[in-house]
Amino acid sequence: MAKPFSVKHQRGFTAMAIACFAALYLPIFVLVIFAFNSSSSLSHFEGVSLRWFHEAAQNKQVIEATVRSFHVASIAAIIATIVATMAALATTRTRPYPGLTFKYALLNAPLMIPEIVTAVALLIVFSQVKGWIGYTGIGYLIAAHTAFCVPFAYLPIRARLENMDLTLETAAADLYATRWNTFRYVTLPLLWPGILAGLMLAFVISLDDVVITEFVKSAGQDTLPTYMLGQLRRSITPEVNAISAVFLLFSVLVVTLFFFASKRRN
């Protein structure tokens, strides 16, 4: 009897896996190490120091950009998750009908379209809107991030819905529960891990975005990623490494927190 195929047993798999992990994580490891460099050199490590973390913490531009990043990402992630939840319910809690597959494709289109195309399209649309109403605030940035984050939140929520057993929802309907009560007391508690995963993914994607933000933002609306990009264009110091290290730590903490929250909910 033939053994089942396993890619792990193929020749060279281990070496290839190690090479891939090294390419992914070795640069991050080097970045974190040089964030503690006492000198301003990006190539020579001269001693351990918290100098650049202190300077980043005292930099008003970094603080303003960080606050703006969290503000935009929080609002965009919440709105995107609400929209994605409604879209997931509408496309999974229904009988198959002509056009349903097209709706799936339409919802996931931003994942397939190059981000630069989305950025240019949003820039053109928002430029027209600015000319019509005269508003130039941060609302455009929030709207752009929300639109871009919807498919990222939609995928885990839809996956959760598709794997949920309909028995409890059917039982609630048999007991004369209204659709709202069925959703509130049955569907939502079971769906909560998927909603948390979608919220986390949308938040991280929004917090990390550069291309769309760079095209849509107005003057004085730098987020932390676009501020760092601007610093790299002007003068590179280990302050950027320090900011990146803190950003990395925060991302790890967020992912860990949502993982345990989702696991506990399960």
Per the structure, the count of domains in the chain is 2
Question: Are residue 32 and residue 106 in the same domain, yes or no?
Answer: no
- Using 50, 70 and 90 to split pLDDT, how confident is the model at 222? confident
| Mean pLDDT to the nearest integer, 12-30 | 87
Q: d(Cα 204, Cα 207) in Å, to the nearest integer?
A: 5
14 within a domain of the structure (yes/no)? no
Segments forming the whole domain that contains residue 83: 71-221
CB 225 within 8 A of CB 161: no
CA distances in angstroms from 74 to 57, 67, 77, 120, 205, listed in the order given: 22, 11, 5, 24, 11
Q: Is the pLDDT of residue 261 over 80?
A: no
Question: Are residue 196 and residue 104 in the same domain, yes or no?
Answer: yes
**What CATH number is associated with residue 132?**
1.10.3720.10
pTM over 0.85: no
SS3 category, 42: coil
Q: What is the pLDDT of residues 80-118, one digit of tens each?
A: 999 999 988 888 877 777 877 888 888 888 888 888 998
Helices (H), the chain: 13-35, 51-58, 60-92, 100-112, 115-133, 139-163, 167-174, 179-182, 188-208, 211-216, 224-234, 238-265
Question: Are residue 112 and residue 181 in the same domain, yes or no?
Answer: yes
